[in-house]
Amino acid sequence: MTLEARARRVLSPVLGNYTWLPLERGEGSWLITTDGRRVLDLTCGIAVTPVGHAHPKVVKAVQEQAGKLMHISAGVAKYEANVALAEFLRGILPAGMDTFVFQNSGAEAIEAAVKLSRQATGREGVIVFRGGFHGRTTGAASLTTSKAAYRRGYGALLPEVHVAPFPYPLACRIQPRHDAEACAEHCLDEIEAMLEHEVPPENVAAFIIEPVLGEGGYVPAPASFLAALREVADRIGALLVMDEIQTAFGRGGGWTVAERHGVRPDILTLAKALGGGMPLGALVAPRALHERWPTGTHGSTFGGNPVSCASGLATLQVIQEEGLVARADRVGEIVAEELLPIARDERVREIRRIGAMIAVELDDKATSKAAVAGALERDVLLITCGSHDQVVRFIPPLNIAEDDLRKGVRGFVSAFKALPAATPARA
Ligand SMILES: Cc1ncc(COP(=O)(O)O)c(C=O)c1O
C-alpha cells in the first residue's frame, strides 16, 4: 500500500493537505520522495526551516543533545540548551526584549501573551486585526480571523476579543483603490471609533498584531501603522503584542520586523524558525513585565525542550554566521525578478514582498491551486495563503542557492503561463 493510502486510512481527515507527496528525506533546499524524485522546497515546511533541511550543524546539535539529555522539563531543573538559547536571543532581539518563557508552538506562545497581558494590566479586552492568524488552539483561534473556517462550529470562543481592520488595500471594501498608507489611516480611524463605541480604552489589555499578515495573505503593514498603534497603546495603557511567529529570524528581512521598522513591542511571540525544525515557541518581554506575572500561574511540561532548544540555537547561529538576515531581501528580490514575466498578467492582482516572504495574489483559489499544482508537476513545491487561498506564497530557505531559486520560480512561471484559458478571469 502506498504511503498516501496508509495515511488516508489512519490519519484524521480534519487536517487540510496541500499535497500528498510521500517523503523519504530532506536535503538542503530539496525534498526527496520515497521513489527518488527531487522536489525544490519553496515552503520551508510553512516558514520553518530557514537554513534548509538537515543542515549538518543543526543535525549535529540535535544528535549531541539527544544523547545527553532529551527531557527534564524547564520547571524541574535547569539545563544549558534552554539558557543558552535565551542568552543568544537576547543578543539579536530588540533592546529590552530580555526575558523568555519557552513553549511548544506558536499557538501556545500567543495564549501565553493573552494571559500575561491580562494578568499584568488587570484588563480583559484584546484587539486583534482582521486577516490575522495566531493559531488553532481555542484561545488562539479566538484571535484568528484569516478564514472563518478556523472558527466555524466551535461555539463561543474567548470573550472580550475585538477585531479591528488591517491595512490590506486589495481586500478593502472602500473604493476607489488606495495605497497601504491611506488604508492604514482609515484603519486607525476605525480603531478610534472602536474605542469610542465598543471597547472602553481602560478595558483594553493588548493589541495583538502580525506585522505582516502571514496565513492571511502575506500583507505587510506599513511601518507608520505599527508606529501609530504603538502610540495608541501607550495612550490608553494597553500592551502591544507583535506576533512574529512567521516573520522573525530573517524571514521578514530583519531579525524581527519590529526592529526593521523601529517599533517597540511590549511582547514578542516567536515560534516556527525558532526551533529550526523542532517544535518550539517563546514569549519574550522585558523582565519588568514578566515580574508582573505571578510565579506558577503559567507553565508547560515540554516547553523549551532541550533538543528543540539545541536545534534552535544551532539554526540561529548558522543564520548569524552566514549573514542570512541580510540575504533575505536579496532572496525576495530574486523571486520578484523571476516573476516579472507574469507581473502584468490580468489574473495577477498584486505581487508583494518583504524580506524573503513573497506573495503573488491571484484572482481566485482555482487559479492559485492550478498554478501551484502545475509547479509541483515541475518539481517545485509551493503553498497558498489568503482568506480564499488566492495567494501563492514563496518561502524559500534563506540559504538557497541562487540558481535553484531562479529555476524554481521559473517552474512556477511556466506553470502559470500554461494554465488553460478556461481558468476564470478577473471580472
Ligand atoms: C503569525 C502566526 N502566529 C501563530 C501561528 C501558530 O503557530 P503554531 O502552528 O506553531 O501553533 C502561526 C502559524 O502559522 C503564525 O503564522
Q: Which amino acid is at 410?
A: R
Distance 213 CA to ligand 1 centre (A): 11
Residue 110 Cβ < 6 Å to ligand 1: yes
Q: Is the dihedral of CA 113, 114, 119, 122 positive or negative?
A: positive
Bridge partners, residue 31, by sequence: 26, 39
Q: Is the CB of 106 under 6 A from ligand 1?
A: yes
What pLDDT is attached to residue 176?
Answer: 87
Contact in structure between 126 and 119 (CB atoms under 8 Å): no
Contact assessment for residue 325 and residue 254, using Cβ atoms and an 8 Å cutoff: yes
Residue nearest to atom 3 of ligand 1 (CA): 134
**CA gap 51, 401 in Å, rounded:** 11
Gap from CA of 214 to ligand 1 centroid (Å):
9
Domain coordinates in residue numbering, the chain: 3-54+323-417, 57-321
* 243 Cβ below 6 A of ligand 1: yes
CA distance 229 to 209: 10
Task: Please identify, by atom number, the ligand 1 atom nearest to the C-alpha of residue 247.
Answer: 1
Do the Cβ atoms of 389 and 363 come closer than 8 Å?
no
CB distance 214 to ligand 1 below 6 Å: yes
Q: What is residue 422's predicted lDDT score, i.e. its pLDDT?
A: 53
The reported pLDDT for the residue numbered 421 is 73
- Grid coordinates of 328: 533575505
Which residue is associated with the grid cell 506564497? Answer: 393
Q: Is 278 in a helix, a strand, or coil?
A: strand
Among the CATH numbers 3.90.1720.10, 3.30.390.10, 3.40.1260.10, 3.90.1150.10, which is that of 3-54+323-417? 3.90.1150.10
CATH number of 57-321: 3.40.640.10
In the block, cell 521578514 appears at 252
N-terminal to C-terminal alpha carbon distance within the chain = 45
CB 40 within 8 Å of CB 388: no
Strand partners, 351: 360
Q: Are strands 380-381 and 38-41 parallel, antiparallel or unpaired?
A: parallel
Q: What are phi and psi of 60, to 5 degrees?
A: -60, -45
pLDDT tens, residue by residue, 57-83: 999 999 999 999 999 999 999 999 999
Looking from the CA of residue 46, the nearest atom of ligand 1 is: 14
Binding site membership of 384 for ligand 1 (Cβ less than 6 Å): no
Does ligand 1 come within 6 angstroms of the Cβ of 352?
no
Alpha helices (runs of H) in 39-150, residue ranges in sequence order: 44-47, 56-68, 80-92, 106-121, 138-142
Phi, psi of 206 (to 5 degrees): -160, 150
Please tell me the distance between residue 183's alpha carbon and the centre of ligand 1 in angstroms. Answer: 25
Say what the pLDDT of residue 427 is. 41
- Beta bridge mates, 359: 352, 393
Tell which residue, 245, 249, 255, 303, has the closest CA to residue 279: 303
The pLDDT, as a whole number, for residue 162 is: 98
At 373 the three-state DSSP class reads helix
Residue 267, φ and ψ in degrees, nearest 5: -140, 135
Domain 3-54+323-417 and domain 57-321, same fold? Reply is no
Query: For residue 162, what are the contacts with CB-CB under 8 A and spacing of at least 6?
Result: 125, 126, 127, 128, 194, 198, 199
Nearest-CA neighbor of 245 among 286, 299, 284, 281?
Answer: 281
Whether pTM > 0.85 for this model: the answer is yes
Q: How far is the CA of 135 from the centre of ligand 1 (A)?
A: 5
What sign does the CA torsion over 327, 312, 249, 348 have? Answer: positive
pLDDT at 377: 98
Which ligand 1 atom lies nearest to the CA of residue 107? 11
Nearest one of 222, 241, 227, 268 to 92, comparing CA atoms: 268
Whether 103 lines ligand 1, by a CB cut-off of 6 Å, is: no
Please report the pLDDT score of residue 425 as a whole number.
47
- For residue 366, the model assigns a pLDDT of 96
Cβ of 244 less than 6 Å from ligand 1: no
Q: Average pLDDT for consecutive 10-residue bins of the chain (427 residues)?
A: 96 95 98 98 98 98 98 97 98 97 98 98 98 98 97 95 97 89 96 98 98 98 98 98 98 98 98 98 98 96 98 98 98 98 97 98 96 98 98 98 98 97 52
User: Any idea what DSSP says for residue 193?
Assistant: H
